[in-house]
Structure formats: structure tokens, C-alpha cells
Chain A
């Protein structure tokens, strides 16, 4: 009788609840969320939007988030879930993104390599992309990644294995890995 909605608690509870400071939490997590979201989406604007949506959901569930044993794990799960929902909705329209503008500055090879990495990431299914980012960017364990994705550690390992196999098909990555 209701939809996926949620992880969510009541906003009025949030406003009146506890002495935790959502503002400080949001400000401190924002850069990391944007970067992880960029890895997931490959698009700077979409990354900021995804990070905003993630923190908005954390705001609504703040009482629960602030009391969580590991609020960052909670946040990662919201981010990945939100990203997956968007991916399902917009997968037809997905296009490879651009590397960050700040990477240009005369480093053509570097920019080309990063564009290739982005393109390779974009070719992965959403869950595999998330596994790669959570492992190699966030340095999470199988169990932590499983918690973020809502799957078993075994699934994490199999998804990671498949993702790495696909990434190695990328000329740039394959070459780099052999260096």
C-alpha cells in the first residue's frame, strides 16, 4: 500500500529532534558525496543533484541517521539507492559524461585517460560501477559494500570480478594495469 519511499521518518520529528546538527553533517559530507556521485553518474551536474537528493533524504531521516552506528554507511546506501533508481528511470537517455573541466590545463594525455576511465565506468552496469567505486575510491570491505548495496558479500565479489574483467577490456585501463 505504499511505494518505496522509504527509509524515511517524519520531517516534523527531524525539526524538533535531538541536538544533532544536520547542517554541519551535510557540509562535511558534501564534497565526498559529490565525488562518489560523479563516479556513479559521470556527469558533474547530475553528481551534484544526486548528492543533494541524498542529503535531502538524510535530512528527512535525520533522527535515524544521526543515531546510526555508522551514519556514513547509511548515507552511502541512500546515495547508491537513489542513483540506481535514477539509472533505471533514465537508462535510455544515458550518455557518456565529460571528465572534470579542471583536468584540462594542458595535460591532454591525462584528460584523455580520464575520459577513457569515465567511459569505461559508464559501460558497467550500475551495480558493478558502484562496487568498483566503493572498493577503489571509498576503500570499503566486501561486507561494507554489501551493506551499501543491500546484497551479500559473495555478490559483491562476483560483481567486482565481472566489473574488473570488463574494465580491463578498455585499452587505456588494460595497458595501465600491465605497467
Chain B
């Protein structure tokens, strides 16, 4: 018997003796739902490594053939104004702007974030090298937006070896950032090379960047930023709702507004998790549904709902399919106001109504998700 055959036979003997129990499908599905939906830093790491190689390739071959890049306007002074806008332009007749703004509600601790047109925020990572892209779907079909936070010794980025974009200094929430932003065609992400600051900027300074594609293995979801840079900790977290049905917890960070829903039966272990775009105080609100039901496995359960609400919202009224209503009082988590509640398995959410402190209706929508999220501008 050859060594290979001997080992194969013994391993076979060992492992075939295992008689697994029936697949615990329900547990698997519940665990799957408990996994927080965040984007791939691991993939990003591989991407970064690949980027070093790719950057060298870009340097070796001058301008890549193809369509010209989309035009970008940057502040001539090299410093963003009070509005925090560091890049702007127009694609297909639609204006766009990338800026840094405070996404906390008025009167609370400042939370700086990059926004596109004042919505769909991404908290700024303090670490230079941060790099993120986002697509806004039907609003800008085929177009992606990207920002790069560059180090102090980087003067500009060059896209595809020919479009130079100088870094703009931005001050927000008392912090200073140097940012480059641009729009690009999703079908043809640009190659990015960093060029050092100073006269005659030395080309070839390598940033660990390769393209504005989403990290490998992740899909680009409308309004959700795909961050490639190193991660910072959570910006905020807290329990939004708890009761007999279970509890809903918020985690706000670069992955978005992420919610975890734990039913009363799960002993605090999240059974469903999902992330959605981060709303700005004045922007569209992301209504997230967290269903515990899974029909293929004949699993039924309640559906959790969570959303960040505008500062003026005092209560949220949820109309259910049996005609009953739930009046939800928002909770403030680290300067942002959120509302969350659960709908029993036997019922459906039909309508949401935003109420101010006097009980007057601010807005109302019947466009509520049963799974995933929708965005609504109250």
C-alpha cells in the first residue's frame, strides 16, 4: 500500500464513522440571520494587496484607452467651504456633489460623514487611506461615486493615468480631512494612482487601491457604501426597542445603519441582522424590515422594523393589517433618533405615520417593506 493510499484509507475510515444527525435547518437559518451584514474587509485586504501590483502596472503603461473620465469640479482654493463639498459635477444632466456633513441631530455630538447630494451617508473613517464607493441606483443609472481620504503627503490622485484630481482639505466636527471624490461609470471603474504633494509631484506613490469596484464577493447595493479602507469602531450602538416579542438593536458604523432583531425565544442572540443606507437628518429615511419568517423552512416569526427618524418626529404610528395601531416613541442613540417595533407573525405592517410633538401628522406612507428596506422622504 502506498503512503498516499494508506492515509486516504485511514482518513476514510475515521470520517465515515461519523454519523451526523439530521441537518438542523432551522438553527442554520436562524444563525444565518444573526450574522451581521457587513462588507468585506477581508476581501478589501486582498484587494489592497492586489492594488499594489495593479498600481505598478498603471505606472508602467501610461493612459489607458477608453472613454474619458467624468468631469469633476473641486474647490479652487484647495479647501472646502462651510458646506463641506469637496467634489461636484454633472452626469447625464444630473448634478451631484460629495461633501462632509454632520449627520447627528441638531444639538448632539457631531458625527462627520461623507454624503452624496446630502443623503446616503458614510461616517468618515479617521484613518487616511479610507476608500469607499456607492451607487444610487435609478437616480444615477450606471454611475458610481467614490471618495478617497488621502495622507498628507499625497497631492492628488490620477484616474486611468490621465485625469488628475487634487486633494481638498475639509474640516468637519473639528477634525481635518484631505479628500478626493469623483463619479465614474460602474461598468468601467478607473485605475487610481496617488501622486505625492509638492512641486512636480512625484508620480508613482502607491496607494493600496486598484479600482472603484466593490470589494470582491460583495454586491453593490444602492445607497450602501462599500468601504475598502481599514475600519474604525462602531460610531454608535444601542437598544432601540425591547419587549415581550424581543429586542431590536442598532449598530451604526461604516457598514451603514445595521439592526439586529432578537426574538424572545433567542435569549438575546440575534436571529436577523441587516444593514441599510445611513440617513441624514433631513434626508430620506431608510425603513428596514427584519422578518424572522422563512417560508421554505416553514419557519414563522414576527417582523422587526427599524428606521432613523427626523429630529421633529415625536412618535411613529404603525398601522397593522388587523386595523390596530402601535404608537412608537423614538429613542436617541448617540445623537440620532431611531424608532423600532415588532409586528407579530400573524399580522402585516400596512402604513407608517410620522407625528410631531403636538400629535400632528408630518408624513405617512403605505410603501413599507415586508423584507429588506425602502427609503422614504417624510
Contact residues of A with B, CB < 8 Å?
1-16, 21-23, 26-27, 30-31, 34-36, 38-39, 44, 47-48, 51-53, 55-60, 64, 99-100, 102-103, 110, 113-114, 117-118, 132-133, 136-137, 139, 150, 164, 167-168, 173, 176-177, 179
Contacts and interface: CB of A to CB of B under 8 A. Distances in A.
Interface of B: 1, 3-4, 6-8, 10-25, 27-29, 31-46, 122, 125, 130, 132, 217-219, 221, 227-232, 253-255, 272-275, 289, 291, 294, 296-297, 369, 371-373
Main secondary structure of the interface of B (DSSP, over half): mixed
A15 B42 contact: no
Contacts, number: 198
B153 to A, nearest CB: 21
A27 B22 CA distance: 8
A1 B232 contact: yes
Contact of B32 (A7, A31, A57): A57
Contact of A7 (B217, B221, B255): B217
A136 to B, nearest CB: 5
A39 to B, nearest CB: 6
Given A1-B229, A4-B42, A136-B8, 4 more contacts: A21-B296, A23-B296, A117-B10, A177-B7
Given A4-B40, A39-B11, A39-B14, A12 B29 contact: no
Contacts of A173: 6-7, 10
B231 A3 contact: yes
A34 B371 contact: no
Nearest to A137: B11
B15 A27 contact: no
Contacts of A59: 28-29, 31-33
A11 B272 contact: yes
Main secondary structure of the interface of A (DSSP, over half): helix
Contacts of B20: 30-31, 34-35, 48, 51
Given A1-B130, A2-B38, A137 B12 contact: yes
A157 to B, nearest CB: 14
B31 A56 contact: yes
A6 B38 contact: yes
B231 A2 contact: yes
Nearest to B35: A60
